[in-house]
Amino acid sequence: MSDRLSEDKLNELLPCLGPMAELISVGSKIDRQILVNITSEMGIDGKAWVFAELELWSSILIKCQSKSCTKDVIVAELQNRGIPEFPAVLAYESAKPKPLTIEPKFVDFGCLKFGEGASTTLQASGEPIVEAIAGSRLKLTLLKSGPAKTLVKLQLSSSASGESVKEEIILRGNTGEVRITVTARWEEERPRLSYCPVCKISKKSLFWNYVDKKYECLNLECKATGPDLDKLVSPYKRR
C-alpha cells in the first residue's frame, strides 16, 4: 500500500503494538490520551503521523473483540500496514478478550451474630463486567473499574436467629460469566430469661446478659454465672 510507513518509522512504532493489544484485551478504549501514555513510555515523540498510524492499528485490533472477525483477516490487515507476520499474530493473540476471573472463588461469611450483616470485596480481572446478578439478600456494587481489574463490593443483609443462607452471584462479561457461591449462618438468639439448671427453681431466673455475653441467675440463693448453660458456676450451689 502506498501509505505504508517507511521501515524506520515502522520499527519505531512496533514496540507500541503489544501494550496496545493488552489494553484492548481487557476492554479498554484506545483514545488519544492512552496513545500519548504508550508513546511516552516508549520514548517516542508524539507526532501527527505517529498517532494516525497507531489509531489505524487499534481500529484493526479492536476487531479481536468480535467473534465475527477471524484471525486470518485481522493478521492480514495488520500485515497490510507493513507489520511482519510474527508480531501481527502475537498482537492478535494478545488482543483477544481475556476470560473473566474472580477472586475469591467462594465466599463463606461463617457464623454471624443475630441481626448482623457482612460484606467483602471481590476482585475481577480479564474482560470487563457488563452485568452483575445477586439474590434477594445480596447486593453487588462496582467500586472500581479499570483495564487491569475491577473491585466489586459484596454485601449480605442480616437475617433471623438460627437461619442460614446459600446463594449464588453471577458476574458476566462480554463472552463469559463466573458464578460465586455465598454462604453464611446466624447464631441462635438466646432467650432473655430461662430456667436455671443449677438452682432449678420453678420460675425463670436465668438472665442472658447481652452486653457481657454471659448467663446470670437472678435467684439470690444461686447467682450462678457462665458463658454457656453447661458452664454455669454458682458460689452457693453445686450442680
For the whole model, what pTM was predicted?
A: 0.60
- Does the structure show a pLDDT above 90 at 96? no
Could you tell me the fold of the domain covering 101-186? Immunoglobulin-like (2.60.40)
Per-domain residue ranges for the chain?
7-95, 101-186, 193-231
Map grid coordinates 510474527 to a residue: 86
Pick from 186, 170, 157: which is nearest to 130 by CA?
170
Q: State the pLDDT confidence band at 1, using cuts at 50, 70 and 90.
A: very low
pLDDT tens figures, 180-215: 999 999 887 788 889 999 999 989 999 988 888 899
**Mean pLDDT on 22-41:** 88
Does residue 171 contact residue 177 with C-beta atoms inside 8 Å? yes
Q: pLDDT averaged over the chain?
A: 88
**Helices 85-95 and 71-80, interaxial angle, to 10°?**
130
Q: In this predicted model, what pLDDT tens digit does every residue of 10-29 receive, in sequence order?
A: 999 999 999 999 888 877 88
Asked if the model's pLDDT at residue 125 lies above 60, the reply is yes
> Where residue 79 falls among pLDDT bands split at 50, 70, 90?
very high
